[in-house]
Amino acid sequence: GESVGLHLPTLSVQEGDNSIINCAYSNSASDYFIWYKQESGKGPQFIIDIRSNMDKRQGQRVTVLLNKTVKHLSLQIAATQPGDSAVYFCAENIMNTGFQKLVFGTGTRLLVSP
């Protein structure tokens, strides 16, 4: 079936720490994954994506790791800042002929203390 889930609903860290948010997916045929950040009252904001032909992709202070063997994704945020406080969703891109849709995980709330 199609499902994407998160292990930890809330992650609390101190400013300056590194944060790791995890995600499991179930559709082994999926080949494209996206992390979104959602702040209160806003829509999901694109952070970083990764395709299944890669194991790792880096952005500015963020890194996504993909382990296809165990169907696991993680988002690493370096030197976490108070502005990183938000809910983070992983999303699995489900494709079929002529369309695509995102299947979102349940989300992890990241709380960053000064």
Partner 1 sequence: EPEVTQTPSHQVTQMGQEVILRCVPISNHLYFYWYRQILGQKVEFLVSFYNNEISEKSEIFDDQFSVERPDGSNFTLKIRSTKLEDSAMYFCAIADRINQPQHFGDGTRLSIL
Q: Among residues 21 and 34, whose Cβ is nearest to partner 1? A: 34
Q: Are 72 and 4 in contact (CB under 8 A)?
A: no
Q: Among residues 40 and 69, whose Cβ is nearest to partner 1? A: 40
Query: Is 26 one of the binding residues for partner 1 (CB under 8 A)?
Result: no
Residue 43 falls in which region: left (phi positive, over 0), alpha (psi -120 to 50) or beta: beta
Residue 59 identity: G
C-alpha–C-alpha distance, residues 52 and 9, integer Å:
25
Query: Is 44 one of the binding residues for partner 1 (CB under 8 A)?
Result: yes
- Binding residue for partner 1 (CB under 8 A) from 15, 20, 32, 57? 32
Question: Where does the chain show beta strands of DSSP type E?
Answer: 4-5, 10-14, 19-25, 32-38, 45-51, 56-58, 62-67, 72-77, 86-96, 99-104, 108-113
Q: Are 96 and 114 in contact (CB under 8 A)?
A: no
Q: Could you tell me the smallest distance in angstroms from the CB atom of residue 30 to partner 1?
A: 11
Q: Could you tell me the smallest distance in angstroms from the CB atom of residue 114 to partner 1?
A: 26
Query: Is 30 one of the binding residues for partner 1 (CB under 8 A)?
Result: no
- Binding residue for partner 1 (CB under 8 A) from 28, 45, 81, 113? 45
What is the binding site for partner 1 (CB under 8 A)?
Answer: 31-32, 34, 36, 41-46, 49, 51, 89, 91, 93, 95-96, 98-107
